[in-house]
Amino acid sequence: MNITALQRPVSLVEGVCQQLAELIRGTTSLEERWLPAERSLAEQLGVSRTVVREATKRLEQQGMLEIQHGTGIKVVNKLHRPLCDSLSLLIPDVGARLQQLNETRLSIEPDAAAFAAERATKEHIRTLRGVHEQLESSPDNAAAIEADIAMHHAIADASGNLIYRLLLDSLAEIGLASRLRTIGRIGKQTAIEHHAQILEAIERGSAAAAREAMRTHILAAGEDMDLASLKAI
């Protein structure tokens, strides 16, 4: 294998990145796969292990790989990770982060829900129903939060806009740690009702209703967090 055929790789590392990315993209990504060992990759690609390491590190930061010490290099799909890192760097203070996070969600998610109402396929609807059932039957808070996040993810997915999905995945992961401490019994029941209304609006294809239901939901979640942070004082 040789990299000279590729288009203007400014450096060897870049070339190897391109090859690996192509290798990853070109495979069925349904099951998590493992890459060959660093030394093996270096030999196959005709470069040193140094270059392979820098390339895999880079792809790991981009959320395409996960490097595990002593085990190997796993192919994953977590493209939202870089944004999470950026946000953590940008706003070190957790409180400020949550407040700004909620404002941003309020900008994005109602629109995402509206687009979902307009564009969702039958497959999307089925997924949404499944996730909502999971939310209803979740045994504990941890499971409820997981289902909650999955629901928002599915809505962003149904919106047909990949940017929404990327942003919401990131915002969800950033907000996760705090949610673990805020959702209580009442919060969960409210969340189920809210999500039911959103789901119903999307099924009906009503963009306006979906937007409004999502708006209500996020505003409520925001108040929930405010209470929790007050209680923490």
Partner DNA sequence: GCAAGGTAGGAGGTCTTACCACCTTCAACC
Partner DNA sequence: GGTTGAAGGTGGTAAGACCTCCTACCTTGC
Q: Is 70 among the residues that bind DNA (CB under 7 A)?
A: yes
Instruction: Count CA atoms within 13 Å of residue 197 on its CB side.
Output: 17
Q: For the range 149-157, what are the long-range contacts, defined as Cβ-Cβ under 8 Å and sequence gap of 24 or more?
A: 149/176, 151/195, 152/109, 154/124, 154/127, 154/128, 155/109, 155/112, 155/113, 155/116, 155/128, 155/198, 155/202, 155/214, 156/109, 156/112, 156/116, 157/124, 157/127
Q: What does 100 interact with, of DNA, its own copies, none (CB < 5 to 8 A by kind)?
A: its own copies
Mark 185-223 as b/e (b = at least 16 C-beta within 10 Å): eebbebbbebbebbbebbeeebbebbbbbbbebbeebbe
Residue nearer to DNA on the CB measure, 73 or 191: 73
Nearer to DNA, 31 or 140 (CB): 31
Please list every residue from 152 through 181 that binds DNA, using CB under 7 A. Answer: none
Spatial contact of 197 and 213, defined as CB atoms under 8 Å apart: yes
Give the one residue of 18, 134, 138, 161 binding its own copies; rule: CB under 8 A: 161
Give the span between the Cα atoms of 190 and 192, in whole angstroms.
5
Count of positions on this chain that bind DNA (CB under 7 A): 22
| CA 23 – CA 59 distance, rounded (Å) | 12
CB of 169 to DNA, least distance (A): 24
40 binds, among its own copies, DNA, none (CB under 5 to 8 A by kind): DNA
- Which residue in the set 63, 150, 188, 217 belongs to the binding site for its own copies (CB under 8 A)? 63
The site partner of 71 among DNA, its own copies, none (C-beta below 5 to 8 Å per kind) is DNA
Q: Please name the residue that has the structure tokens 């996020």.
A: 218
Q: Which one of residues 3, 23, 94, 166 is an interface residue with its own copies (CB under 8 A)?
A: 166
Residue 166 vs 192, nearer CB to its own copies: 166
Kindly list the residues in this chain that would bind DNA in the complex (CB under 7 A): 11-13, 35, 37-40, 47-51, 53-54, 67-73
Q: Can you give the binding site for its own copies, defined by CB under 8 A? A: 21, 50, 53-54, 57-58, 61-64, 79-80, 82-83, 85-87, 89-91, 100-101, 103-104, 106-108, 111-112, 115, 161-164, 166-167
